[in-house]
Amino acid sequence: MSKQIEMIPVQSSQLHSIGHDPETNTMQVRFLAGRGEQRGPGALYTYQNVTTEDFSAFEKAESKGSHFGKVFKPAKDRFPFERVDESKKDE
């Protein structure tokens, strides 16, 4: 991914932070990893075809994890995704 997307921390038991680039309709989601006090930022995924309206509804959802699970997760054809290989970000 060539453009850095600003990530917004969210209150969620599943998600760490979310971000959106309206120019490319690209969304990024960083999941939570670990347990208990070891809980922290986990894997980062990029989702395509996410409009500003799609992201706004996600951002405003009372439960971000539930919204993600109902809207984005089952719609792999509509919102293709890939895990970001962060080991290559300094290259």
> Mind listing the pLDDT tens digit of every residue in the chain (91 residues)?
457 899 999 999 999 999 999 999 999 999 999 888 888 999 999 999 999 999 999 999 999 999 999 999 999 999 999 999 888 755 4
Q: What is the pLDDT of residue 32?
A: 96
**Nearest residue to 77 (alpha-carbon basis) of 51, 54, 49, 52:** 49
